[in-house]
Chains A and B, each alone.
Chain A
Amino acid sequence: MNAPLNLDDLKQRWAAQDPLLERSLRLNVALMRENLAGKAAASLAPQKRVKWFELLCHAIVAAWLSGFTLQHLSELRYAIPGFLVALFYIGVVAVDVRQRRLLDRLDFSAPIGAVQAQIGALRGFRLRIAKWILLIAPLLWLPFPAILFKSLFDVDFYAGVGTLYWSVSLAFALAWIPLMLLVLQLCARRFAQSRGLQALLDGLAGPGMASTRRFGDLLAEFDATQASDLPASVRAALAQPVAATESASTARVEAVRSIVPQQATRLLVGILMLASSLLGTGSLMAAHGGTAAFLVPTLILHLCLVATMIALIRLRMRVLGLDVDGSAETLRGRVIECMNARVQLARILLTLAPAAALALLLLILQLTGSVSTATTIGADAWVGFGLAIVAGCTVALWIAPRMFTRFDDAPASTLRCWIQGRAWLRVLHLIDAPADD
């Protein structure tokens, strides 16, 4: 075993090295001055030009789409998609300008915690935007050909393609969101080791966000332990070696380490089951997409599956993002987030249940031949169907938060424990347990 490390002694030896270090480092004043004058401008100018060109392109597309929307205000089938895509591009320009201004204003001589928190927040925001652009791209692409053909060639794209094209494209675009989220989540860790893919995946999936979040936790932890606000006894306790609390923290770490893979695997099974169901509804739409009586209930079911799958993937990301090496307080917060995400999932399921049940019922009636064709469903029946879904979902939306309460919102009950997860509650108990447990 090494002899104890005397940091105060090393501090003096470190300082004694300074004059030697200063002498051994040689600064070529002329070369440095030349680099500052030339390289700074030369290295940044092309990048700045590319960024401005990018911004200009987005602004031109946004202006063109806005003009197109104004021109076709009387034709809703062009005005609505035109407006939505224009809105997207205006959003892209606004976000770009805002980020540029924030980055330009960043003062690197400000306190480290503040600067890094700002950079971390900017990065998190950028990653989220990049991820969601990728996810909604197919959905955005759907109306784009119609706008492009109308605008450039005055061709009615809607007339050229049938309902089947739209239903299959819509089914694909909707299924793309959760499937892509899942693929990114599953592959991100493997690809993270590749430097080439790192830049892309870091922005689209887990590791980038997780590391940004971990750094955020680190900064928050520094803020939270502002010792000056604490009594002297607590300050003294903080300065004590952490060995006394090691037994409790080891138990906590072990508990979380055992629960994470177990929960992640369960969630993955659920996600894969939903993914196969999505393929089922997608195939059904491809086969019967031209018939409204098939298309409407299948699309509703498809939407419910997509929403549930996204909620499950987000929950899995939270579970995988648990940092066992962080402080007890941070870990506690993350565990509660996982429990609340389960509650959120239960609320989503309950809210969507009436719509899914009615859609499934209509689909079964269709498939078993009780309602043979679309013509047998009259306008009144469609209105009734729509009203029943809206009423059912509204009631469920009202009931859900009362029935499934978030952690700390209500006293414990069997249902509440089941929804929040008994395994998570056990982990929470371990975290809250005194050090000598």
Chain B
Amino acid sequence: MTPATNPDEFVRLLDAHKGILYKVSNAYCAQRDDRNDLIQEIVMQLWRSFERYDGHARFSTWMHSIAINVAISHYRGENRRIRDTLPIEEFGLDVAAADQLLDAADDDLRSLHQLIAQLDEINRAIILLYLEGHPHDEIAAMVGISNSNVATRINRIKQSLQRQYQSAGATA
């Protein structure tokens, strides 16, 4: 068994980066049941793709690319291979405490989550990667656009979020 097909190694890496699963699925699924299904789809796709992981890129970068691709496909109803999903706890991930953490987050962070959910699929991916601290060149490679385009996009997204935030405040 090669390291890349070793389930123990895969689960160890997954455990070290499980936050990515939660954050990406949270950004693309408003409903918690849907989100839990998406988490399972992402894990299964990660496992299927793991044999191709050669270690050249950081595991978190590789995981982000796959997670976002699966999330966009799920969001658009294109990738529903696993219909018989389990309750998330039976799948092996307990998210209840993380949900409480998100609920208890301050207003600004919760507003940010809501505003991100209103962006289109690709802009959502860009801002998510930006907030995760990925440098522009990494975001460019992961999304498939140029470095300067990433800068332009992030600038536009910031302005768009700003406008939405203020108009939400005005109507509140």
- Using a CB–CB cutoff of 8 Å, the interface residues on chain A facing chain B are 1-2, 4-5, 7, 10-11, 13-15, 17-18, 20-22, 24-37, 39-40, 43-44, 47, 107-116, 119-120, 123, 202, 211, 215, 218-219, 222-223, 225-229, 235, 238-239, 241-242
Contact = CB atoms under 8 A, between A and B. Distances in A.
Given A5-B115, A27-B93, A239-B155, 11 more contacts: A5-B112, A7-B112, A11-B133, A14-B132, A17-B105, A36-B7, A47-B81, A116-B121, A116-B122, A119-B73, A239-B151
Give the size range of B's interface with the partner: 35 or more
Given A29-B15, A227-B146, A239-B152, A44 B81 contact: yes
B92 A32 contact: yes
Given A13-B108, A40-B44, A222 B169 contact: no
Given A109-B62, A218-B120, A22 B19 contact: yes
Contacts of A36: 7, 10-11, 43, 47
B141 to A, nearest CB: 7
Given A7-B161, A10-B108, A239-B155, A25 B93 contact: yes
17 contacts: A2-B168, A5-B162, A10-B109, A15-B133, A24-B97, A25-B97, A33-B8, A34-B92, A43-B84, A47-B81, A108-B70, A109-B62, A110-B65, A116-B72, A222-B149, A228-B146, A242-B156
Contacts of A120: 78
A27 B93 CA distance: 5
B144 interface: yes
Contact of A115 (B8, B52, B69, B105): B69
Top-3 shortest CB links A-B:
A2-B169, A111-B144, A32-B92
A1 B170 contact: yes
User: Which label, helix, strand, loop or mixed, suits the secondary structure of the B interface?
Assistant: helix
Contacts of B132: 14
Contacts of A235: 148, 152
Contacts of A239: 151-152, 155-156
A4 B144 contact: no
Contacts of B118: none
Nearest to A46: B84
Contacts of A123: 78
A222 B145 contact: yes
A163 B133 CA distance: 74
B1 interface: no
Contacts of A35: 86, 91-92
Given A109-B66, A222-B149, A27 B44 contact: no
Interface of B: 7-8, 10-11, 14-15, 18-19, 21-23, 43-45, 47-49, 52-53, 62, 65-66, 68-70, 72-73, 76-79, 81-84, 86, 89-95, 97-98, 100-101, 105-106, 108-109, 111-112, 115, 120-122, 125, 130-133, 141-149, 151-153, 155-156, 158-159, 161-162, 165-166, 168-170, 172
A224 to B, nearest CB: 10
Nearest to A230: B148
Contacts of B76: 211, 215
A27 B94 CA distance: 6
B146 A21 contact: no
Contacts of B92: 27-32, 34-35
A227 B91 contact: no
